[in-house]
Amino acid sequence: SKVVGNSFVPITCSAIPESLLESELFGHVKGSFTGAVADKPGLFHQADSGTAFLDEIGELTPIIQTKLLRVLQEREFMPVGSTKTKQVNVRIISATNRNLEDEIMEKRFREDLFYRLAVVPIRVPPLRERKGDVPLLVDYFLKKYSELFGKEIQTISSYGLEVLMDYNFPGNVRELENIIERGVALEASNIILPESLILSRKEKVGSQKEPLFVGAQDERELFDRGMEDILIDLETRMIRHALDAAEGSKMRAAELLKVSFRSLRYKTKKYEID
């Protein structure tokens, strides 16, 4: 990349108060509001010729979304209180844990901004879908918090790791970090034992032995209801399950079910699935 050696400016959109967000992103001129005693360059100015990373972009207000769209389309912005535009050449990387497709449907996120941003979309799977990363992350967080707390904990017991591998991590990587941080703080020995791992949910992913979907409990139900009724019921439950796993994204749910997006959309309308 041509900008790899240039400035990288991370911006956590939800961490900046709404009243200050425009000024922080685009800067302001002296006297533009109370307390503006001098010109101040914004974060986009700092990222010029480099990269701006917009974390939690789904939190942006409609006004800021409109101004960001102008930056993407025209490569220019106007500082608060100024009458002159400033040119900027910045690569924008954005991230969100929201389903922006749903946000667009609810009129909370601009569709044109979404397509401007989603030039090269990268989906980072939740931790429950990449359990192979758990041991690596555990090692990283162990070293981080052992050093922070001044402890000599270097590893986790095999059973402790097994407990984590079976866990579903509804809070994703941040929950794993929290679990390890708490474990290091509570552990008195030099190895993390299962007793020091406090999980928010006790059920384990691998503990369910019953079939996930059952069409009919017995032959009598099968013949009483008939194949069409049972298949409709099964399809409906499978689609709902996939939508839950995909956090509401029909596109991702279609990938999970190995069907086309058009087919899934047709069936959700047919079976009146929200």
Domain boundaries, the chain: 8-117, 127-206, 219-270
Q: What pTM does this model have?
A: 0.58
Distance CA 56, CA 103 (A): 13
Residues of the chain where predicted confidence (pLDDT) is lower than 70: 1, 201-213
Residues 6+ apart with CB under 8 A from 204: 163, 166, 167, 168
Q: Look at strands 86-87 and 76-77 and give their pairing.
A: antiparallel
Residue 206 confidence (pLDDT): 39
**Which of 142, 138, 134 is closest to 167 using CA atoms?**
134
CATH topology of domain 219-270: Arc Repressor Mutant, subunit A (1.10.10)
CB-based contacts of 70: which residues, under 8 Å, 6+ apart? 76, 77
pLDDT of residue 208: 43
Same fold, 127-206 and 219-270: no
Interval 170-226: pLDDT, tens: 889 999 999 999 999 988 888 998 888 888 754 433 344 446 667 777 777 778 888
40 CB contacts (<8 Å, ≥6 apart)? 23, 27, 28
Strand partners, 191: 155
- 127-206: CATH topology: Helicase, Ruva Protein; domain 3 (1.10.8)
What pLDDT sits at residue 211?
60
The third-level CATH classification (topology) of the domain covering 8-117 is: Rossmann fold (3.40.50)
